[in-house]
Amino acid sequence: MKTIIEPFRIKSVEPIRMTTRDERERLLKDAGYNLFKLHSDDVLIDLLTDSGTSAMSAAQWGAVMTGDESYAGAPSFYRFEAAVKDLMDFKHIIPAHQGRAAEHLLFSLIAKRGHVIPSNTHFDTTRGNIEAAGAEALDLPIAEGKIPSLDHPFKGNIDLDALAQLMSERGDAVPGVMMTITNNAGGGQPVSLANIRGAAEIAHAHGKPFFIDGCRFAENAWFIKLREDGQQDRSIKEIVRDTFDVADGMTMSAKKDAFANIGGWLALNDDALAEQARTRLIQTEGFPTYGGLAGRDLDAIAQGLTEIVNEDYLRYRVRTNAYIAERLDALSVPVMKPAGGHAVFVDAREWLSHIPPAMRWLVRSIRKAAFGAARSGRSCSAASRTAPKRPPGWTLSVLPCRAASTPSRMRTISSKCSRNSPSARMTFAA
């Protein structure tokens, strides 16, 4: 494979601790075999999530120092608002402390018992917030999206026929249509611009708003540039603008494609809904010019948004992810194909069916997320993320976006996943 060099310098390091197998056995036992209860400094390579784990850039740390902590009207808010509007030109930008807080604001206002909210696939917290409001969260992914081994350029797409049918049969019960880009719960798969436009058109034809969960909007735009006809010569920014132009609002976790350690926002075009959301924001998050965040967080997000659309970075991120997926595939590990841009999805139930999920951590102190643990408001609280109550199917191995995914880590991850590697064998014997 052609070497892909990190498009950044790492000028700050943090030591990590090696553990022995005996130590890990004890730590696991003490944690009740729940990987979420491990202390992260006992984990060598943490693939739990990309959420808020990215290294911030020097410019972001610089921006942190310019943060203004005034209760109302801080310049940090206006820099944040301008940076969001530069990419997604919604009328109202309402900051929140995380993506799920933005989802809560939206669905506590628009979703009621008897409602149904369709999506390509709702993320855990979105589903949790919809169900907490008494409504039904309905996933309508395309058929190809449900077959892990199948290659398809836009496996995250929504089934437009199924959406159209739902709208004609139960349109009155639909307060809005949602689209998650990229489709995280559907295997980190991208959604095409044509599909986004198609879904928006169906929603609008029935007089319903169209919302985007834009957590990984830049990654999605990169896949559109790579794979969708006619998009190759366009900039990421142009594709991002087109993506959100057809939407009436969005929710966002700035912990993903804004390179921030915390933050999010709800964006809306509807004045009345935005007014209600701001009122609720004051009750739950804070004044509308900080929304549960410090001014310095808003500045870190503003700067991060200017960096995420960098093509060298997106190329590096997507290629690094594909590299691991390809190596695992060559080792006959069942992975979701094609690789997405922020995580490698392994079908742990098929691959390691003979050992319990927590024991897999013994492989080499590599912590992974068990996807499905907090999938629905019904099975366990999305907020607490406790141990899964049913066996997880997919193990989500997420690459932190920036700086942490060095070549030696990538090689370690893939080699330790080999059934033939010595430490893996140790694990299988356990």
Ligand X SMILES: Cc1ncc(COP(=O)(O)O)c(C=O)c1O
The H or E element spanning position 139 is: strand 136-139
CB of 53 to ligand X, least distance (A): 11
* Closest CB to ligand X among residues 401, 424: 401
CB of 242 to ligand X, least distance (A): 20
Question: Given CA atoms 192, 193, 198, 199 in this order, what sign does their dihedral have?
Answer: positive
In the complex, residue closest to ligand X by CB? 99
CB of 27 to ligand X, least distance (A): 25
Task: Please give the Cα distance from 252 to 105 (Å, whole number).
Answer: 12
CB of 355 to ligand X, least distance (A): 26
* Closest CB to ligand X among residues 253, 320: 253
Q: Are 60 and 262 in contact (CB under 8 A)?
A: no
If you search the block for the tokens 């290629």, which residue do you land on?
Answer: 319
- In one letter, which amino acid is 331? L
264 touching ligand X, by CB under 6 A: yes
Contacts of 408 (CB under 8 A, 6+ apart): none
* Closest CB to ligand X among residues 343, 362: 343
CB of 264 to ligand X, least distance (A): 5
- In one letter, which amino acid is 225? K
* Closest CB to ligand X among residues 24, 296: 296
CB of 340 to ligand X, least distance (A): 11
CB of 265 to ligand X, least distance (A): 10
Q: Binding segment for ligand X among 28-36, 96-104, 280-288, 421-429 (CB under 6 A)?
A: 96-104
Residues 14-73 that bind ligand X (CB under 6 A): 51
Residues 204-223 that bind ligand X (CB under 6 A): 213, 215
* Closest CB to ligand X among residues 123, 290: 123
Contacts of 37 (CB under 8 A, 6+ apart): 31, 387
CB of 263 to ligand X, least distance (A): 8
Residues 97-126 that bind ligand X (CB under 6 A): 98-100, 123, 125-126
Task: Please give the Cα distance from 156 to 148 (Å, whole number).
Answer: 12
- In one letter, which amino acid is 322? A
Q: Out of 127, 255, 278, 364, which residue is the one contacting ligand X (CB under 6 A)?
A: 255
Query: For ligand X, how many residues bind (rule: CB under 6 A)?
Result: 14
CB of 99 to ligand X, least distance (A): 3
Each as own residue / partner, the long-range contacts of residues 61-64 (CB below 8 Å, 24 or more positions apart, any chain) are 61/300, 62/303, 63/296, 63/299, 63/300, 63/302, 63/303, 64/296, 64/299, 64/300
* Closest CB to ligand X among residues 99, 141: 99
Residues 126-185 that bind ligand X (CB under 6 A): 126, 180, 184
DSSP state of 338: S
Q: Binding segment for ligand X among 36-44, 92-100, 171-179, 222-230 (CB under 6 A)?
A: 92-100
Task: Please give the Cα distance from 361 to 171 (Å, whole number).
Answer: 46
Question: Given CA atoms 407, 412, 413, 415 in this order, what sign does their dihedral have?
Answer: positive
Q: What is the secondary structure of 200-246 as a DSSP string?
A: HHHHHHTT--EEEE-TTHHHHHHHHHHHSTT-TTS-HHHHHHHHHHT
Beta 249-253 vs 210-213: how paired, if at all? parallel
* Closest CB to ligand X among residues 24, 100: 100
Question: Would you give the binding string for ligand X spanning residues 179-198, x where CB under 6 A is met?
Answer: -x---x--------------
Q: Which residues bind ligand X (CB under 6 A)?
A: 51, 98-100, 123, 125-126, 180, 184, 213, 215, 253, 255, 264
